[in-house]
Structure 1
Amino acid sequence: MSGTAPADVAEATRLDRTAYAVDRGAAADRAPVRIVHLGLGAFARAHQAWYTAEVDDANEWGIAAFTGRTAAVADLLSPQDGLFTLVERGPDGDRSTVVTSISEVISGDRVDLWDERIAAESTAVVTLTVTESGYRLLPDGSPDPGDEIVAADILALRSANGGQVPVSPLARLVRGLAARRRVGSGAIAVVPCDNIPGNGEYVRTGTLAFARAWDTHLADWIETFVSFVSTSVDRITPRTTADDVRAVAARTGWHDAAPVITEPYSSWTLCGDFPAGRPAWERAGAVFTDDIAPFESRKLWLLNGAHTLLAHAGQLRGHGTVADAIADPGCAGAVERFWDEACAHLPSHLDLPRYRSALLQRFGNSRIAHDLAQIEAESVTKLRVRIAPVALAELRAGRTAAACADVFAAWVRRVLAGHSMTDARGDDVAAARSHDDGCAALVAVVDPRLGADPSFVSRVRDAAQNPPAENGPRRTS
């Protein structure tokens, strides 16, 4: 099968461990589970699963991968024994690899298996891919007391023997760690892989709060035996389409129901301890550091911040993808101005000109259809962690934060025009939109300090009401 595609897609062989092993003349053995993962989406497979497969020559680091909110991915991957095709889509062509590191695919509602896998002495690492809002935490990392799911999950933890099952990720993590404590399996590392600055400490704070709400002795055990590793992750991974599934079958000869399309570029920076061991991810390019903050800020502000900018400014100008938007001089200029403000607060040793140039090349890869409508989801949290810190830093420096105000303005303009966007803070956004001063109220939903700054709000209002007339397609709202 390697190298020769069948004449007809219908002739493709279903991808599974046995067929793949026969094709490669190798054993079909799964690696023993030593990593438990929550949040089995495309990014997790393009990133953590790929890094692990790249370095696990001895077949020692299998992943038990649990789905998050739905079992849909498990339904696709289970018949394939966890195997999937990773397609690295560069500007000039595709490179396909079958990733074999996922040893088990398990629906997230199987909390019995979740507890069992985390409790196993062989398990050394728990990785999480959760959206910023998915943690259901306040900006300081504490559980949101006004969140109905948080309240229900605390009750579920307190009645763990009564059959109630927590659904939020950190409540589920606490339940699994409690099972590990009961059997005495010892230390373990928790590795969040998301776009939150200081995510290790953030997740540690939330986890301990959930634990204390249930059992203070468990919280004490977590403080002693659980390491929380901070990370910065990066790999653009758009949604897989039906056309992608057909193309993979035609190209590789494997019928894969759940291939992953991603860019050739990947990055993973980690800071923290792994008391029970870890794969040698550095062999695949991961970087281990004692100071992750500059790497986090560079990625969050320059890559993710630009994505949020393009999601709103680009759609206002009639664009559908990142590549389309960055080709518009108006959008590209807005990105460069925002980057100028952000880079004023980043250390020079990060080689910022080269990083910016590489980002423009990545954004311009039109073969990666990164939908702006996908990026716009959860805009409140994204603006809070990607744009607001730069705006506050600019204001503290005595400058106007004009480029940051333009990003806020594009979002405000779309909200006030009635565009519907998926957002966990949707009720707050709706209330702010109906406020007498909707602009100020919306800015305050993202960051109360910015919402209380009259000059910044005035800049946002002016930019929302008078967007720049620059080259590129426009769409009135």
Structure 2
Amino acid sequence: MTIELQIGEQAPVPAALPRLNRSLRPSAKAPVRIVHLGLGAFHRSHQAWYTHQAGDAAEWGIASFTGRRPDAALALAGQDGLYTVVERADGGDSFEIVSSIVEAVDGANVGRLAELVAAPATAVITLTITEAAYRLDSDGQLDRTAPDVVADLALLAGTAAGGGTPTTPLGRLVFALAARRTADGGPLAVVCCDNLSNNGSVARSAVLGLAAAWDAGLAAWVDANVSFVSTSVDRITPRTTDADLEAVEAACGYRDNSPVVAEPFRSWVLSGAFPAGRPRWEDAGAVFVDEIEPFENRKLWLLNGAHSLLAYAGQLRGHATVAEALADPACLHAVEAFWDEAEANLASAGLKGAELRIPEYRAELLDRFRNARIAHHLAQIAMDGSTKLRMRAVPVLLAERSHGRSGAAAALMIAAWMDFSVHAGTLQDPLADEVDAANALTGTGRIRTLLALLNPQLAEDHAITELIEGLSGTFTEPAIGP
């Protein structure tokens, strides 16, 4: 069911509203054939929506597991997995019930995760666990010294003796894959949907790294039986507010405690094998390609790179949302300059440049960012900067330098992040302690130490250190704040 309302149009509000569930809106539950890690708003507006729209959706149910907290699973389970996607366009909202999630589970229920992954019917595991969850070091490999990786390895080592189970998404995934190996469940595909360049290879490296550190036999089995699919995902999905819940009630005549708001635009590009099959996602517009890197980089550099730049520069100039920041000429100029650098290196892919429609994509992004009805908060985007900038700013800066150009626009993004890390107070970042320690230094030493957290090669380049030091302070007036 899809309901559309134009701006200013009011729907009648019933006196007492029933709660959304499969009795109120009859919808048969498809069998679980997809397991998802990272139950959140983006997953529900993107992968779950695509599965709901697939021509063979009746054959593909999703069991979605939360990450850190059980709240989303508890709320969604109370509605039999049903929820409303609110598509928010300039001209009004449309409302659609999505039914592809048939089981919503607390991520701490590792036993249920292992049971479902081990089942032969399960063909696909999808991931939205955030970039930081793969625990990559600056060389793009699994950091086996990270405290949570060390802790998970200890827990995995004790599972045979009845010890605890892993607590991170990566550890839980490896544990569940071990259960599939034991059950002889057969091959399957792991589909990474996080904003990482060549994310399928990243997921493979992280999973194999953790598996090998625990059990060499498991690593060999994963290598032989699990395909890792790379994807480029794209749909702006802000956090749901109380006003959004009220809008659903007014338009749809039921209570939904788990709606998700998204922009009209959506894109999903995939590359890789599905040895046990997959839904017909192409029916909903998904695209399957042989070479995904140009599409990944287009999205990582143009959309995500601009988001990071706006997140740091915008907050330093007192803005709260993407739309507000883009309306600031200083922020807009910085974004356009960064896009020029990124485009120069995307276009070097030859014929792919035409397929990528870069000028059109840039124009679409400006329209999407200016959609003031999508309140995409800069504070949300700013999290985990030390991880995100490795994929969004560093590759463009290195590419520009390799061609004899300054890379000043990419360097400005890094400088803005450094300034923001000082002004932001509490920093939400996996390297927050290291960033704080670096900020206790002064001058070139501080810049070099912060750069080393992103890329050691940058920290050794005196010219880049000088460039970023000269760009520091570009956005610090007016001071950070509302």
Indicate if the aligned counterparts of 1:140 and 1:202 stay in contact, CA closer than 8 A.
no
> What CA distance in whole angstroms lies between the structure 1 residues aligned with 2:123 and 2:225?
12
> What CA distance in whole angstroms lies between the structure 1 residues aligned with 2:334 and 2:449?
24
Q: How does 1:143-292 map to 2 (within 5 A)?
A: 143-161=142-160, 162-292=162-292
Q: Where does residue 25 of structure 1 map in the other structure? A: none
Residue identity matched to 2:109: R
Deviation of the 1:476 alpha carbon: 6.3
Q: Is residue 2:383 matched to residue 1:371?
A: no
Indicate if the aligned counterparts of 2:142 and 2:206 stay in contact, CA closer than 8 A.
yes
Indicate if the aligned counterparts of 1:376 and 1:421 stay in contact, CA closer than 8 A.
no
> What CA distance in whole angstroms lies between the structure 2 residues aligned with 1:109 and 1:175?
12
Residue identity matched to 2:75: L
Q: Where does residue 73 of structure 2 map in the other structure? A: 74
Indicate if the aligned counterparts of 2:212 and 2:219 stay in contact, CA closer than 8 A.
yes
Deviation of the 1:383 alpha carbon: 1.1
Deviation of the 1:11 alpha carbon: 2.1
Q: Where does residue 456 of structure 1 map in the other structure? A: 464
Q: Is residue 2:31 matched to residue 1:32?
A: yes
Deviation of the 1:294 alpha carbon: 0.3
Q: Where does residue 16 of structure 2 map in the other structure? A: 11
Runs of at least 5 residues in structure 2 that lack an aligned partner in the other structure: 5-9, 348-352
Q: Is residue 2:314 matched to residue 1:325?
A: no
Q: Where does residue 417 of structure 2 map in the other structure? A: 411
Deviation of the 1:65 alpha carbon: 0.7
**Residues 385 and 18 of structure 1: CA distance in aligned 2, closer, same or farther (over 3 Å):** same
Deviation of the 1:302 alpha carbon: 0.3
Q: Where does residue 431 of structure 2 map in the other structure? A: 425
Deviation of the 1:57 alpha carbon: 4.6
Q: Where does residue 49 of structure 1 map in the other structure? A: 48
> Structure 1 vs Structure 2: percent identity of aligned residues?
51
> What CA distance in whole angstroms lies between the structure 2 residues aligned with 1:10 and 1:456?
63
Deviation of the 1:405 alpha carbon: 1.6
Indicate if the aligned counterparts of 1:136 and 1:168 stay in contact, CA closer than 8 A.
no
> What CA distance in whole angstroms lies between the structure 1 residues aligned with 2:424 and 2:224?
49
Deviation of the 1:58 alpha carbon: 5.3
Q: Where does residue 398 of structure 1 map in the other structure? A: 404
Deviation of the 1:116 alpha carbon: 0.5
> What CA distance in whole angstroms lies between the structure 1 residues aligned with 2:345 and 2:380?
28
Q: Is residue 2:479 matched to residue 1:475?
A: yes
Deviation of the 1:326 alpha carbon: 0.8
Q: Where does residue 438 of structure 1 map in the other structure? A: 446
Residue identity matched to 1:13: P
> What CA distance in whole angstroms lies between the structure 2 residues aligned with 1:10 and 1:138?
55
For the aligned residue pairs, the C-alpha RMSD in angstroms reads 1.8
**Residues 228 and 139 of structure 1: CA distance in aligned 2, closer, same or farther (over 3 Å):** farther
Q: Deviations over 1:97-121 (max 9, x none)?
A: 0000001011111111101100011
Q: Deviations over 1:77-109 (max 9, x none)?
A: 011001000011011111110000001011111
Q: Where does residue 104 of structure 1 map in the other structure? A: 103
Structure-2-length-normalised TM-score: 0.93
SS, match of residue 203 in structure 1: helix
Q: Number of residues paired by the alignment?
A: 467
> What CA distance in whole angstroms lies between the structure 1 residues aligned with 2:411 and 2:42?
30
Deviation of the 1:142 alpha carbon: 3.4
SS, match of residue 165 in structure 1: coil
Q: How does 1:331-350 map to 2 (within 5 A)?
A: 331-347=331-347, 348-349=353-354, 350=356
> What CA distance in whole angstroms lies between the structure 2 residues aligned with 1:42 and 1:394?
35
SS, match of residue 338 in structure 1: helix
**Residues 3 and 336 of structure 1: CA distance in aligned 2, closer, same or farther (over 3 Å):** closer
Residue identity matched to 2:236: I
Q: Where does residue 295 of structure 1 map in the other structure? A: 295
Q: Deviations over 1:127-169 (max 9, x none)?
A: 0101111222324453323311101111111222223110122
SS, match of residue 227 in structure 1: strand
Q: Which moved more, 1:378-387 or 1:430-439?
A: 430-439
> What CA distance in whole angstroms lies between the structure 2 residues aligned with 1:142 and 1:451?
19
Structure-1-length-normalised TM-score: 0.94
> What CA distance in whole angstroms lies between the structure 1 residues aligned with 2:153 and 2:206?
12
> What CA distance in whole angstroms lies between the structure 2 residues aligned with 1:158 and 1:413?
42
Residue identity matched to 1:71: P
Q: Where does residue 7 of structure 2 map in the other structure? A: none
Q: Deviations over 1:363-401 (max 9, x none)?
A: 000000000011100111111110010001111111111
Residue identity matched to 1:222: V
Deviation of the 1:9 alpha carbon: 5.6
Deviation of the 1:276 alpha carbon: 0.3
Indicate if the aligned counterparts of 1:83 and 1:99 stay in contact, CA closer than 8 A.
yes
Indicate if the aligned counterparts of 1:70 and 1:107 stay in contact, CA closer than 8 A.
yes
Give the counterpart of 1:20 among 6, 18, 25.
25
> What CA distance in whole angstroms lies between the structure 1 residues aligned with 2:223 and 2:420?
44
Deviation of the 1:466 alpha carbon: 4.9
> What CA distance in whole angstroms lies between the structure 2 residues aligned with 1:180 and 1:445?
37
> What CA distance in whole angstroms lies between the structure 2 residues aligned with 1:19 and 1:476?
47
> What CA distance in whole angstroms lies between the structure 2 residues aligned with 1:112 and 1:382?
32
**Residues 10 and 226 of structure 1: CA distance in aligned 2, closer, same or farther (over 3 Å):** farther
Q: Is residue 2:354 matched to residue 1:355?
A: no
Q: Deviations over 1:148-205 (max 9, x none)?
A: 1101111111222223110122211111111111111101000010001111111111
Indicate if the aligned counterparts of 1:119 and 1:181 stay in contact, CA closer than 8 A.
yes
> What CA distance in whole angstroms lies between the structure 2 residues aligned with 1:10 and 1:225?
55
